[in-house]
Structure 1
Amino acid sequence: MTLVVALVLLVGIGAAGLLLPLPYLVAAPGVTVNTVGELRGEPVITVEGADSYVHDEGSLSMVTVQYAGGPDHRLNFFTLVTAWLSPTQAVLPEELLFPAGRSPEEVSERQSVQMNDSQTDATAAALSQLDIDYDAVPQVAETVEDMPAHGVVEPGDVIVAVDGRTVPTSASGDDPEELVGSAAVVEWVSSREPGDPVELTLDRGGETVDVELETRRGENGAAVGVLIADDMDFPLEVEISVGDIGGPSAGMMFSLGIMDRLTEESLTGGAHIAGSGTITSAGQVGGISGIPQKMVSARRDGAEYFLVAAESCSQVFQSDAYEDLEVVRVETLTDAVGALETIRTGEGELPRCQE
C-alpha cells in the first residue's frame, strides 16, 4: 500500500511539474513584410515631397520573430520541451525580453520607441546614401543619475561642440557614412580613455555654456551619462507602416526600402531579398537576435537572399535554412547597397559569413 501511494504521489508530482509555468520564452519564425510592397492593402513605405517610384518586381523584406510566453503567460515544461526539440524554434530565458523590474507594458512601450527611432535613423541613413542633405541637431533628452553630466547638463541643451570641435548637424553628401549630430558626439566622447576629461559646449536657450566633465567607463568606451535624441529635419516626409511590430531590427531593410522608393531603377533587379539588422543614422548595421528563426521565415516566404549583420554571423549556421538561402554579410548600408548591385548585375562576389 505504501508503494502504491508513493507511486501515485510521484506520478502526480511529475504531472504537476510538466504543467508548472516556467520563466522561459519560445521563439518561432514570425511574419515577413516586404518594405517595398503593401501591408493590408496600403504601401509599407510612402514618400512625400520628392519623386517616388514603385517597382513591381522583387522584394526587400523585413523578418520577425514570434515570441510565446512571458511573465503574464508563462509556458509549462511540456511546451518548452516540445519547442526545444523543434528544428525551427528556440527556448530562451525570459529575462532576455523581459528584464527584471520591467512590466510587459513597459517592454512593449520600449519596443514601440525602438521601432520609431529605427525608422528615423533608417531615413537619415538612406538620405545620406543618396546624397540628400538633412539636419540632425543633437539635443539632450536626459542625463543618467550618478554620472558626471547629471546636474550639470540639462535636458533640452543642444551640444554644439566637443573639445572645441564643432558638431556637424548637416550631412554634406560627400560621405554616406559621415557622422553628424548625436552619432558624432557619441563617437568623439567614447573614443577617449575613460577618466580623460571632455569639454562640451552647449546651447541652453540661446546662451552658450561650457562644461568640463570627467569621463567614466561606459558600455562602449568613455561616457559622461548623457542621452541624446537628434532633432531631425528632413527635406521630405517618409512614413512607414508595419502595424504593431516593434523593435529596432528592421532598420537596415527600412533604409533599403526608402532608397528603392527614391530611386528610379529597382534596387533588387527582381530578386527576392530578406534581411535583418539595426541601422544607425551614419549607416552602421548592427547585430540582432533571432536570426535562425528569421531565416526560416525568409525561406518560407520565398526569399532567395538573406542580408545579415556581420555581428550576427555566428547565428546563421544554427538554422538549416542556411542551405537554401544565399546569406550575405554586411557591416554598413554601403555594403548592403553594394551587395544588391552584385545581385542585380551578377558581377562580383557576395561577402559571406564564415563558420
Structure 2
Amino acid sequence: MTLVAALVLLAGLGYGSLLLPMPYLVAAPGVTLNTLGEQEGGEPIIGIEGADDYEHDGSLSMVTVQYAGGPDHRLNLFTLVTAWLSPSQAVLPEELLFPAGRSQEEVAERQTVQMNDSQTDATAAALNQLNIDYEAIPLVAEAVEDMPAEGVVESGDRVLAVDGEPVPTGTSGDDKEQLVGSAFVVEHVGDREVGEPVELLLERDGEETEVELETVEGESGSAAVGILIADDMDFPVDIDISVGEIGGPSAGMMFSLGIIDRLSEESITGGAQVAGSGTITSDGQVGGISGIPQKMVSARRDGAEYFLVAAESCSQVAQSAAYGELDVVRVETLTDAMDALETIREGGDDLPRCE
C-alpha cells in the first residue's frame, strides 16, 4: 500500500508539474502581408498622396512571428514541450520579449512606437533610393537620466550644429550616403574619444544657445552624451502605411521596397513573389532581427519564392523548417535589395545568398 501510495503521489506530482506556468514563450509562424496589396476594407496597405502611384503584379510581403505566453498568460510545461518538438516553433526565455519590470501593455506600446518609427525611416530610405529630396530636422526627444545631457538639454531642442559644423537637414538625391538630421548628430558625437567634450548649438524657443558636454561611453562603446534624438521629417509625398495591430521594427525593409514599387512606373519584382524581414534606417542600412526560422515558414506557406534577409540574420536561416524551400538572399542595404530584385526580374541567378 505504501508503494502504491508513493506511485500515485509521484504520478500526481508529475502531472501537476506539466500544468505549472513557466516563464517561457512560444514563437510560431505568423501572418504575412503583401505591402503591395490591400487591407480588408479595400484600401491599399501603402497609401500615397501627392505623387503618381502605380499597381504591379508580384508581391513584397512582410512576415511576422506569433508569440504565445508572457507574464500575464504563462504557458504550462506540456505546451512548451509540445512546441519544442515542433519543427516550425521555438521556445524562448520570457525576458527576450518582456524585460524584467515591464508589463505586457508597456511592451505593446513600445512595439507600436517601433512600428511607427520604422515606417518613417522606411519612407526616408525609399525617397533617398528614388532621389527624392526631403527635410530631416533633428529634435531632442529626451535626455537620459544620469548622463551628461541631463539638465542641460530639453525635449524639443533643435540641434543646429555639432562642434561648429552645421547639421544638414535637406537630403540630396544625388548623394544617398550623405548623413542628415539625427544620423549626422549621432555620427559626429560618437566620432571622438570617450571623455572628449562636444559642443552643440541648440535652438530653444526661437533662441540659439551653445552647450558643451563631456562624453561618456555609450551602449555601443562609442562616445555619447545621453540624448535621445529623432527627426521631424518633412516629406514631399504623403505616405500612409496601415498594418493593423502589428508592432515592432522588422518590416522596415519591406515597407521601403513597397513604397519604391508603388512610386515606380515599372515593377521592381517583375511579378515574382518576394518576402523578407529586416529593419531599416533612414540612410538605407538593413538590420537583423530575430524569428527568421518562423518567418521563413510563413513566407513559404503563403507562396513566396524568394526571401530577403539581413546579413546579420543569416545564422538563423538553417534553423528553419523551410530551409531549402526558399531562395534566401542576403542584403546589408536597401541598394543591395534593389540589386537583388533587378537580378530576379531579369531571370538571373547570381544572387548573394546566406552561406
Task: Tell me the TM-score range normalised by the shorter chain.
Answer: over 0.9
Superposition deviation, residue 340 in structure 1: 0.7
User: SS of the residue aligned with 2:316?
Assistant: helix
Deviates more, 1:270-279 or 1:311-320: 311-320
The answer as to 2:116 corresponding to 1:116 is yes
User: SS of the residue aligned with 1:43?
Assistant: coil
2:218 corresponding residue in structure 1: 218
Structure 1 CA distance for aligned equivalents of residues 219 and 288 of structure 2: 16
Structure 2 CA distance for aligned equivalents of residues 95 and 34 of structure 1: 31
Structure 1 CA distance for aligned equivalents of residues 348 and 181 of structure 2: 36
Distance 1:65 1:35, change over 3 A: same
1:43 corresponding residue in structure 2: 44
User: SS of the residue aligned with 1:196?
Assistant: coil
1:188-199, aligned counterparts within 5 Å? 188-199=188-199
1:22 corresponding residue in structure 2: 22
The answer as to 2:281 corresponding to 1:293 is no
Superposition deviation, residue 9 in structure 1: 1.2
Superposition deviation, residue 176 in structure 1: 2.2
Superposition deviation, residue 320 in structure 1: 3.3
2:138 corresponding residue in structure 1: 138
Structure 2 CA distance for aligned equivalents of residues 19 and 347 of structure 1: 53
1:168 corresponding residue in structure 2: 168
2:229 corresponding residue in structure 1: 228
Superposition deviation, residue 205 in structure 1: 1.6
1:10-89, aligned counterparts within 5 Å? 10-40=10-40, 41-55=42-56, 57-89=57-89
Structure 1 CA distance for aligned equivalents of residues 158 and 341 of structure 2: 38
2:2 corresponding residue in structure 1: 2
Which structure 2 segments of 5+ residues have no match?
A: none
1:278 corresponding residue in structure 2: 279
Structure 2 CA distance for aligned equivalents of residues 105 and 222 of structure 1: 33
CA deviations 1:285-311 (Å, max 9, x no partner) are 110000000000000011010000011
Structure 1 CA distance for aligned equivalents of residues 187 and 354 of structure 2: 27
Please say if residues 125 and 255 of structure 1, whose CA atoms lie closer than 8 Å, have aligned partners that are also in contact: yes
Superposition deviation, residue 348 in structure 1: 6.5
One-letter identity of the residue aligned with 2:344: I
User: SS of the residue aligned with 2:75?
Assistant: coil
User: SS of the residue aligned with 1:342?
Assistant: helix
1:329 corresponding residue in structure 2: 330
User: SS of the residue aligned with 1:317?
Assistant: helix
User: SS of the residue aligned with 2:3?
Assistant: helix
Structure 2 CA distance for aligned equivalents of residues 277 and 107 of structure 1: 20
RMSD: 1.0
Please say if residues 128 and 177 of structure 1, whose CA atoms lie closer than 8 Å, have aligned partners that are also in contact: no
Structure 2 CA distance for aligned equivalents of residues 194 and 315 of structure 1: 34
One-letter identity of the residue aligned with 2:249: P
Structure 1 CA distance for aligned equivalents of residues 315 and 122 of structure 2: 25
1:202 corresponding residue in structure 2: 202
Structure 1 CA distance for aligned equivalents of residues 100 and 349 of structure 2: 48
Structure 1 CA distance for aligned equivalents of residues 162 and 271 of structure 2: 46
Structure 2 CA distance for aligned equivalents of residues 261 and 340 of structure 1: 15
1:100-115, aligned counterparts within 5 Å? 100-115=100-115
TM, length-normalised to structure 2: 0.98
Superposition deviation, residue 281 in structure 1: 0.7
CA deviations 1:66-86 (Å, max 9, x no partner) are 000011111000100010011
Please say if residues 33 and 39 of structure 1, whose CA atoms lie closer than 8 Å, have aligned partners that are also in contact: no
Structure 2 CA distance for aligned equivalents of residues 171 and 310 of structure 1: 27
One-letter identity of the residue aligned with 2:186: V
Which structure 1 segments of 5+ residues have no match?
A: none
Structure 2 CA distance for aligned equivalents of residues 330 and 196 of structure 1: 35
Superposition deviation, residue 42 in structure 1: 2.2
Structure 1 CA distance for aligned equivalents of residues 76 and 20 of structure 2: 5
CA deviations 1:188-222 (Å, max 9, x no partner) are 11232222211111111221111111111112221
Structure 2 CA distance for aligned equivalents of residues 264 and 140 of structure 1: 38
Q: Where do 4+ consecutive residues of structure 1 move more than 6 Å?
A: none
Superposition deviation, residue 175 in structure 1: 2.0
User: SS of the residue aligned with 1:351?
Assistant: coil
Question: Paired residues, what number?
Answer: 353
